[in-house]
Every structure is written in structure tokens, then in C-alpha cells.
């Protein structure tokens, strides 16, 4: 890695091992006992080599992390402070919380989770869990998704518009104009991602403004997750996403907690800087 950074004159290295000690995909190999301790040893060695080659803290080591600290024996560890000593900052992936892998619909990136509904993690809980485990807020970047996820429901969600947790089908629909079937090596078959980039929610006409849906689509706002969602009663397609209003709530909270800033996945998904200008 040192030679790679030298050759391309990079600012540093970003490590994207998102699930040490736990299942990341349906068929990946992992070690519930040793993955996380070995990850720390690797990062400590990398920091030592970087500092030796370039000078102390002259090159960045960053990493993408999920909403809870790394696992050992199936449980998130309670102390990540040793990681923080050698890593410059961590990018919190506070999205992909609920999706087509669940039995019910739910928010892709909830600000707060609703008790007893959907995965019980959120934007807020991610910051709380990492800082409680000893990671300085000043070394955290809040993760913001410029996209949403779609599924097909088994019910007409307009009949119960205040409840975004409804039974859904296991088959994920094709998403926006850039979505295409991808090969799932674990399942040995192809599948759709169902993703809708913000720019395509706008330029494909699902949203005529950041807060206005075009018929037959209906827009709703969830007061707990603090996120919008769309529903098409003709196709029973549900889309959970973020918009300028939900992103502002998240960024204001991150700033109030002293985070370093935000990480976006990804800037190219914006539409006329509507999200970036939030």
C-alpha cells in the first residue's frame, strides 16, 4: 500500500471492510472471533508503515463502517478507542437500513427508528453507539445517501398512509434508468437493486419538485424516521429516500454532536445541487 500511495501520490487509503466478524453477504467467509482483532492489527501496522514512509500523520487512513461497532462473537464491541488512535476518521454508512431483504417496507435511512418496526438502528443510534464505544465524534463523518430503495408491496399503502411498514414481496423491482440486473454470486442468479437516485426521481418525473409527487405517485412524510416515501397504487411500488428536508435534519444533528462533517453516497446522484445545497 505504501508503494501504491507513492506511485499515485494519494492522500491516503480508505478501507471498506464493512462487516468484520459478521456476515456481509450470504456466502462470505468470516471469523467471529478473530476478524475484528486482526483488523486492528492490520490498521496499526498500516499506520506504522505510513508514518515511517511519509512522516507522522502525513497520510490518511479512513474507513467505511456500519451503524454499529465491529463484532466479536456476534456482538458489537464496546471499545473502539484503539482503532481511533490509528485511523483519521470513519465514514458512517447510515443508509441501507431497510430494503428488499426485509419482510416489510421501511425507511432506507431513518433518522430515528420506530420501536418494534424495521431494523432497530438509525442515523441517531449510529452516532450514539460509536461515540459511546470510544470513537471521538470529531473523527466521524455522517453518511448521507443521495438515493432511495424500491420494493413491491402486498397492499395498497394509501389505505394506511401513516404506516410505512407494510408487507412486501421478496422480488425487488427494477429501479431508475441506470439500474440493471446484477449477478448475485451467492444465490447464483441475477437480481435488481431497486435503487432510485435522487436525480432520476426528479428527471424521470416521479417528483415534480423536491416535495411534490406526480400522479399516480403519492408522497408521504414519516414523523419518526423523518424521511419521505413514495407509493404508486397502480404498481404497488414503494420508494424510501432522502430529500432536502430529511438531509437538513440529519446534518443539523451531526453538527450539534460535533462530527467532522458528512460523507455522501454519492454526489453524482444529485439533481441541480438540490441536495448538496441543503
pLDDT tens for each residue of 149-174: 999 999 999 999 999 999 999 999 99
Distance between CA atoms of 158 and 161, rounded to whole angstroms?
Answer: 5
* Residue at 70 is within a domain: yes
Give the model's pLDDT for residue 26: 78
Residue 276 in any domain: the answer is no
List Cβ<8 Å contacts ≥24 apart for 244-252: 244/210, 244/274, 244/275, 244/277, 244/278, 245/210, 245/211, 245/221, 246/109, 246/111, 247/144, 247/275, 247/278, 248/278, 249/111, 250/94, 250/111, 250/123, 250/142, 250/144, 250/226, 251/142, 251/144, 251/278
Check whether residue 121 and residue 11 sit in a common domain: yes
The answer on 87 and 122 residing in a single domain is yes
Amino acid 28: pLDDT: 85
In a domain, 43, yes or no: yes
Could you state, in chain order, the average pLDDT of each consecutive group of 10 residues for the chain (278 residues)? 97 96 87 98 98 97 98 98 98 98 98 98 99 99 99 98 96 96 86 97 99 98 99 99 99 99 98 97
Residue 57 inside a domain? The answer is yes
Strand partners, 259: none
- Are 203 and 168 members of one domain? yes
Residue 253's domain is classified under what CATH number?
Answer: 3.20.20.80
Is the same domain home to 14 and 103? yes
Residue 76: closest CA among 113, 43, 112, 120: 120
**Domain identity same for 172 and 117:** no
* Residue 228 belongs to domain with CATH number: 3.10.50.10
Residue 132 lies in a domain: yes
Same domain, 110 and 178: no
Domain match, 247 and 190 both: no
Residues 197 and 74 in one domain: no
Residues 15 and 45 in one domain: yes
Q: Say whether both 141 and 193 belong to one domain.
A: no
Residue 275 lies in a domain: no
pLDDT of res. 144: 99
Domain count, the chain: 2
Do 126 and 53 fall into the same domain? yes
Which domain covers residue 227, as residue numbers?
147-240
Q: What is the pTM of this model?
A: 0.96
**Does residue 8 sit in the same domain as residue 140?**
yes
pLDDT of residue 134: 99
Assess if residue 217 is contained within a domain.
yes
In a domain, 224, yes or no: yes
Amino acid at each position: 500500500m505504501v508503494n501504491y500511495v507513492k506511485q499515485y501520490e494519494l492522500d491516503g487509503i480508505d478501507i471498506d471492510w464493512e462487516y468484520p466478524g459478521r456476515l456481509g453477504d450470504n456466502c462470505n467467509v468470516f471469523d467471529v472471533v478473530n476478524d475484528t482483532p486482526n483488523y486492528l492489527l492490520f490498521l496499526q501496522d498500516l499506520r506504522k508503515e505510513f508514518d515511517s514512509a511519509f512522516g507522522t500523520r502525513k497520510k490518511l487512513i479512513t474507513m467505511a463502517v456500519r451503524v454499529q461497532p465491529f463484532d466479536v462473537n456476534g456482538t458489537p464491541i464496546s471499545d473502539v478507542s484503539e482503532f481511533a488512535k490509528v485511523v483519521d476518521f470513519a465514514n458512517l454508512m447510515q443508509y441501507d437500513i431497510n430494503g428488499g431483504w426485509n419482510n416489510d417496507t421501511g425507511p432506507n435511512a431513518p433518522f430515528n427508528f420506530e420501536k418494534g418496526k424495521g431494523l432497530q438502528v438509525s442515523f441517531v443510534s449510529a452516532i450514539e453507539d460509536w461515540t459511546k464505544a470510544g470513537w471521538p465524534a470529531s473523527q466521524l463523518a455522517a453518511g448521507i445517501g443521495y438515493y432511495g430503495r424500491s420494493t413491491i408491496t402486498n397492499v395498497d399503502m394509501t389505505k394506511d398512509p401513516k404506516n410505512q411498514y407494510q408487507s412486501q414481496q421478496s422480488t425487488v423491482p427494477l429501479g431508475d434508468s441506470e439500474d440493471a440486473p446484477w449477478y448475485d454470486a451467492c444465490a447464483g442468479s441475477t437480481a435488481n437493486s431497486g435503487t432510485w437516485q435522487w436525480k432520476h426521481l426528479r428527471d424521470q418525473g416521479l417528483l415534480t419538485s423536491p416535495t411534490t409527487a406526480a400522479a399516480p405517485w403519492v408522497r408521504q412524510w414519516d414523523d419518526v424516521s423523518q424521511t419521505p416515501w413514495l407509493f404508486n397504487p397502480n404498481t404497488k411500488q414503494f420508494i424510501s429516500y432522502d430529500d432536502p428536508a430529511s438531509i437538513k435534519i440529519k446534518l443539523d444533528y451531526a453538527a450539534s454532536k460535533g462530527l467532522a462533517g458528512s460523507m455522501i453516497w454519492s454526489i453524482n446522484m444529485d439533481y441541480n445541487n438540490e441536495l448538496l445545497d441543503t
